[in-house]
Structure 1
Amino acid sequence: MKAGRLAIAGSFCWNKDCPDYGKVDHGNIVRYGRTSKGTQRLKCKTCGRVFVGNKGTIFYGLHHSPKEILECLAMLAERNSLAAIHRVKGIKEETIVDWLRKASAHVEEIEALLLANYHLTRVQLDAMWTYVGHKGEKATILKRSIEAHSGEVPR
């Protein structure tokens, strides 16, 4: 593998105690069946540890398919609201925001997938990442408590 490029999750052993830990395309990783949800399992021939092929990615440990997650992120990049995505896909708004936060740690991979598979522009992706930066920083507006009794005018 060339320096400066990202390694595919299933191309090296994740076990830090393994002598072949982090050695990319060393020939020690073999396919080892699939999980009940269909995710590829891999095994290191050196240490015998088994792991899934999406370890270290945005999709690791999530209950929705990579296709569904990418579709929701593409809809966000197209300036759809969280409520609109919830209505169309039936996925909670909080779940989509969690995916977006996870995706922010994998910007290069996510951008490559979205640009290759969806009709998006760089400007749309920039807007999506800006949205990530502002999410959760909503200003709180203090409401004046109205304690007027029935018929009284509040001051």
Structure 2
Amino acid sequence: MREADPKKQMCLNEKCKDFGRKNTGNIIKKGFNAKGNQMFKCKTCGVRFPETKGTVFYNRHLTEDQIIMICKLLVEKNGIRAIERIMEIHRDTVSSVVEDLARHAKEVTDFLISNVGLTKVEVDEMWSFVKKTKRSCRRRRGSR
């Protein structure tokens, strides 16, 4: 993923007094999980969490590379079904990734520009597609 820095992490336990606060010194590295993601621990409340918690990569069976490829295919104006065929991933999984991308828009935008090398224009095009797709996903769900 990216360099795991405890200073950039924050406790995601809503009951913790340091919830949502970065760079307070309460987060420490605490080993790795089965997927190889860096684990962190909040010294205040004792909760452990992976580096992917609170991101589009959290709790996914897809690899980081697959999620990045979905982003790149969205930038190229491929639809959900086209991405399904290209990557051989079920369209519901692709739709779920698109919905998570929309929920994590700012973090995803920063990641795509700094780590993937997309331009701001390409990312804007991707978000335009996500917005259009999200609207049509809602209509399909409501019609069932």
Q: TM-score range by the shorter chain?
A: 0.7 to 0.9
In structure 2, which of residues 52, 68, 71 is the aligned counterpart of residue 70 of structure 1?
68
Aligned partner of 2:104 in structure 1 is 106
C-alpha contact 1:77 1:124 (8 A) present in aligned 2: yes
Matched, 1:44 2:42: yes
> Which of these two proteins has the greater Rg computed from alpha carbons?
1
Q: Which moved more, 1:102-111 or 1:10-19?
A: 10-19
State the distance in 2 between where 1:62 and 1:130 align.
24
- Report the residue type matching 1:110 in the other structure: V
TM-superposed deviation, 1:77: 0.8
Q: Which moved more, 1:81-90 or 1:71-80?
A: 81-90
Identity rate of aligned residues, in percent? 34
Structure 1's 15 and 83: CA in aligned 2 closer, same or farther, altered over 3 A? Answer: closer
Q: Deviations over 1:74-115 (max 9, x none)?
A: 111112233332233211122112111111122222122223
Aligned partner of 2:3 in structure 1 is none
State the distance in 2 between where 1:117 and 1:49 align.
29
TM-score, normalised on structure 2? 0.75
Matched, 1:137 2:136: yes
Aligned partner of 1:15 in structure 2 is 13
State the distance in 2 between where 1:97 and 1:13 align.
28
Structure 1's 13 and 115: CA in aligned 2 closer, same or farther, altered over 3 A? Answer: closer
Aligned partner of 1:126 in structure 2 is 124
Q: CA RMSD in A?
A: 2.7
State the distance in 2 between where 1:39 and 1:114 align.
20
State the SS of the aligned residue for 2:130.
helix
State the SS of the aligned residue for 2:136.
coil
In structure 2, which of residues 69, 87, 90 is the aligned counterpart of residue 89 of structure 1?
87
Structure 1's 123 and 52: CA in aligned 2 closer, same or farther, altered over 3 A? Answer: same
In structure 2, which of residues 32, 35, 38 is the aligned counterpart of residue 34 of structure 1?
32
C-alpha contact 1:86 1:93 (8 A) present in aligned 2: yes
Gaps of 5+ in 1: 1-7, 141-155
State the distance in 1 between where 2:102 and 2:7 align.
18
Gaps of 5+ in 2: 1-5
- Report the residue type matching 1:94 in the other structure: D
Aligned length: 133
